Amino acid sequence: MARLPGIVLWAWYRPVHLPSGVVVSIPPEVLTAFPAGFPISLGDVLAAAGVLPQQFQAVSMFGSEWHSAALFASVVNHPIPSVPTGCPPEIAIAVAEQHMLMPLMPAMPMYHPGGNASVDMHAFAGQSAFPAVQSEEFGQYIDDDEFDDDETALTDDMMYHRIEASWKSARQIERQMTGLRQKLSTMQAALGKLDRELLPEERLASDREDRDEWSDVRRWIRELQTKCHREIKSFDIGMTSGAGGRRRLEEIYLTLIEPRVTSGQLAIYRAEFDQFRKDMVSLQRAMVTALQAASQNGTQRASRILGKIAGKIREMRVRNREPLGGTNIDRSVRRKS
C-alpha cells in the first residue's frame, strides 16, 4: 500500500471463479496487527490493485453477498472493518474490462498531497491492471485479428497458419478446461455435503427466518449441483471427446496441416477448425460461469448462514451455563422445582 508502506496485501488477478476481477487477500500478519479494523480503505485497495473507478463494478467483502459499486461510493474512503469470525479475509472485486489489446502491469496508485486516505482517481486514470479485455481463452492475450476474416484472398501458407493458430488455441483451452473440470467435480462434492438438514442443535438455536433461509439455500445448492454436473458431462462426452469431432480434426491437423500437405479443402478446414475453437470457448465460459455461481450462491451463502447459526449456538450454550446459586450447572440437567 503506497500510503502505508508497512501494509502489504496479496492479489490474485483473474482467478477461475472470478475471471473478470481480482481477489485481494489480507495476510495473517496484517490480521494480527490490526484485530479491531484496518487503517486502509476500499479506495486504497482499488488503487493498489490498479482498478480504475470506471471499471469498478461490484465487491464482496469477506465472503458476503455481492454489492454494486454505487452502494460503496459514499464509504469507499472509510476504513475497512475487521474480518468477522469464520469469514475468509478476502475482498473480491468485479471489474468491467476495457477494449485494448495487450495487458499492462498494475499501476502505482497516486494520492492527494498530504497523505490522506482519499484516492486521486484522475492521477492514475488510464493506468489499470485490467486494461485489456479478456480474450475468448480467458486470460490469454492474443490478437483476435488473427482469427478475423477480412474477406481478402488468402494464400495456402496463410490458410495453414490460421488453421494451426485455431487448433493450438483450442488445445490450450482444452488444457485449461481439464483443470476447470476437476474444480467443478470438487465443487459438486462440496455442494453435496452442504445439502443436508440442520442438526438438532442447529434447529434449536435457529429461528424461523434462519430455517427458511437455509431451505432456500438448499434449493440453490441442488440447482447448482445440476449445473456443475451438466458442464462436467459436456466436457466429458462433448466437443472434447470423439463424439464432438475432436479426433477427426486432430487427425486432419497431424496428417495435412502440420506437414503442410497440399489440399484443395483448406478453406473448408479453416472454417471447421475456427468453429471448433469458438465452441470450445463457449464451453469454457459455461464451465467458469457454473463454477463462479456455485461458489457465490452455493458454498459462500451456505457457510454464511451456518456461521450465523453457529454463533447463536454459542450464545445458547453460554446462557445454558449461567451460574445458579454459586454453582455452574448446565440448565439442561437442572431439575424443575
Q: What's the mean per-residue pLDDT of the chain?
A: 77
- pLDDT on residue 228: 92
Average pLDDT over residues 180-191: 90
Answer yes or no: do 175 and 284 share one domain.
yes
- pLDDT on residue 243: 62
Answer yes or no: do 154 and 116 share one domain.
no
The tens digit of pLDDT for each residue in 65-115 reads: 777 777 777 778 888 888 888 888 899 998 875 433 333 333 333 333 333
Answer yes or no: do 316 and 209 share one domain.
yes
First to last CA, the chain: 63
Burial of 130 (0-12, 13-18, 19+ CB in 10 A): buried
In terms of residue numbers, what domain contains 245? Answer: 144-324
Average pLDDT over residues 253-260: 89
The tens digit of pLDDT for each residue in 150-173 reads: 555 678 888 888 999 989 988 888
- pLDDT for residue 271 is more than 70: yes
Answer yes or no: do 254 and 121 share one domain.
no
The domain boundary, picked from 109, 134, 159, lies at 134
Q: Is residue 4 part of a domain?
A: yes
- pLDDT for residue 131 is more than 90: no
Answer yes or no: do 161 and 281 share one domain.
yes
- pLDDT for residue 337 is more than 80: no
Average pLDDT over residues 191-211: 91
- pLDDT for residue 214 is more than 90: yes
Average pLDDT over residues 217-245: 85
Q: Which residues of 203-241 are buried (b: 16+ CB within 10 A; e: fewer)?
A: eebbeeebeebbeebbebbeebbebbeebbebbeeebbe
Does pTM top 0.85 for this prediction?
no
